[in-house]
Amino acid sequence: MGSRPWKKWQRLGVVALAGGALLVAACSGSDSSRGPSPSDDLDAAARGVPAAPVDEAGSSQGEPGGGESLEQPQVQDRKIVRTATLELQVENVLEAVQQIDDVATAAGGFVSASNVFVDSDQNSEDQARRTQTASVTVRVPADAYSAVMSQLRGIARDTVSETSDASEVTVEYTDLQARQRNLAATEARYIELLNRAATIDEILTVQDRLNQVRLEIEQVTGRINVLNNLTDFATITARLSLPPAIAQGGDNQNWAEEAWQASWETSKDAMVALGTVAIVSGVLLAWMAVPALALFVIWRLFGRRITEFARGEAAGQPAAKSE
C-alpha cells in the first residue's frame, strides 16, 4: 500500500516534464518562424553583412547544400589608358588638320579638340604662310591606336618629337566592380527592410541609409563609365607647324624680290636718317633765331654810336703818343 502513492507521484512528474518540453519547443518554433526583426537586419546591413532572404519554409537561400553555388566574379580584361603627343612639321597646316580629321573618322574615332593659330601679319596675301601652328586632339578606338599613329606620321613632312604613355587601371576597375556589386546587394537588402518596416522611425532610418547607398552606387558607376571611356578610346594630340623654310617664305621669293626688298628697307632707313637730321637742324635753328634777332635789334639801335665811339678812341690814341 505504501508504494502506490510513490508511483502516483512518479507518473505526475513524468507528465509535467513532458508538458514543459512541449511548451518550450512550441515557443522556440514560433520565434524562428517570425524571422529576424527589421531592427536586427538594419544593424546587420549597416555593419556591411548582407543577410540572406528567408523563404516561406524558414530556410535561408544560398546556404551550402542548397544546390546553388555562389556567383563568382568574372576575370576582367586588362584596362589600359593610352595617350600620345606628336609634334609634326607639315607643308600646309590647314590641309593637315583636315587629313587628321579624316584619319580619325575612318578609324571609328572623332576630333575632340582643334585649335588653329594664325599670325598677326595682315600684309601677307598667302593664306598658307599666315597659318603658323595648329593643335588637334583625336579620340580613336584602342584597337586602332597603332594604325592611326602610323598614318599621322605619314601626313607629316618631318616628325619633330613623339611621346606616348600607357597607364594600367585594371586593379582600380576590378575594385570598383566589386564595390558596385556589394552596394547593389546592400541596396536590395535595404529595400527589403523598408518594405518590412513597421514604425515611422524605422522607415525614416532605412530610407536615409538607402539614399546614402544609392549615392555611392552612382559615384562608383560614374567612375566605371569614365574608365571605360578612357580605355576604349585612346587620346592622341598632334601639334602642327610649318618647316622653317616655308615659315620664312624662302621658296616663294626669288633673288630679285629679295634685292628689291633689301634696297627698299635700306632706302627707308636712309630716309629716316635724313628726316631725323632735318628735324634736329630745324629745332636748332629755331632756338638760335631768338638770340640772333636780339643781337640784330641791338646793332640797329646802338651800332652807329658804338662805331663812332670806337673811331674816336682810335683817333685819340695817336695824339697822345705824339705828345
What is the tens place of the pLDDT at every residue in 177-186? Answer: 999 999 999 9
**Which residues 6+ apart lie within 8 Å of 48 measured at CB?**
182, 186
The type of residue at 305 is: R
CA distances from 95 to 92, 137, 140, 156 (A): 6, 16, 20, 11
Q: What per-residue confidence (pLDDT) applies to 24?
A: 52
Nearest alpha carbon to residue 145 among 165, 129, 172, 119: 165
DSSP 139-191: EEEGGGHHHHHHHHHHH-SEEEEEEEEEEE-HHHHHHHHHHHHHHHHHHHHHH
Q: Residue 96: which of 144, 147, 153 has the closest Cα?
A: 153
Q: For 64, which DSSP code?
A: T
Q: Please answer whether residues 231 and 79 qualify as being in contact, where contact means their C-beta atoms are separated by less than 8 angstroms.
A: yes
Which three cell numbers mark 164? Answer: 606616348
Tens of pLDDT, residue by residue over 137-188, are: 999 999 999 999 999 999 988 899 999 999 999 999 999 999 999 999 999 9
Q: What is the pLDDT of residue 50?
A: 47
Looking at the DSSP bridge assignments, the partners of residue 80 are: 168
CA–CA distances in Å: residue 264 to residues 16, 51, 122, 129:
131, 92, 19, 22
Residue 317 has pLDDT above 80, yes or no: no
For residue 3, pLDDT over 70 is answered with no
Residue 121 has pLDDT above 90, yes or no: no
pLDDT of residue 292: 79
| Tens digit of each residue's pLDDT (9 = 90 or more) over 244-280 | 754 444 445 566 777 777 787 888 888 888 888 888 8
pLDDT for res 245: 57
The pTM is what? 0.51
Lowest mean pLDDT among 99-108, 162-171, 274-283, 311-320: 311-320
Are 217 and 177 contacting, i.e. CB atoms less than 8 angstroms apart? no
Of the chain, the end-to-end C-alpha distance in Å amounts to: 209
Of 145, 141, 136, 147, the closest CA to residue 99 belongs to: 136
